[in-house]
Amino acid sequence: MISRLSPVLVVQNDATGGTFTLIQDGNQQESVSPVPELFELAKSISHVPQGIFSTLAAYLSDKVPNLPNADRIDPHDLDMVASEGPRADG
């Protein structure tokens, strides 16, 4: 099929941003891994708070807290992540 479709871009996703291979005329190949190492490091660090939130979200209250700028919090968003509330003993 690649010989009929040209050029073809083949993407192999992985934990480091993936490898992109351009295939032209059925046999010419050029592969690149365009994600720099610094981005990989920043991405892995930024996923730590996301993982913590994902673990704790089920135990959050589904009520909008009485805080400054609480009007910016969408009650629907809280409903989507909070399921047991602060009284959970999990």
The first and second tokens of residue 23, run together, are: 């295939």
3-state secondary structure of 12: strand
Residues paired with residue 9 on neighbouring β-strands, in sequence order: 22
Tens of pLDDT, residue by residue over 24-82, are 887 788 999 888 888 888 888 888 998 898 888 777 777 777 888 888 888 777 777 66
> Under a CB-based contact definition with an 8 Å cutoff, are residues 35 and 16 in contact?
yes
Of 25, 21, 20, 36, nearest to 2 (Cα)? Answer: 25
Res 20: pLDDT? 92
Neighbours of 21 (CB within 10 A): 13
- In the structure, what pLDDT confidence band is assigned to residue 86 with cuts at 50, 70 and 90? low
Largest CA distance in the chain: 63
> Domain-by-domain residue ranges, the chain?
1-35, 48-85
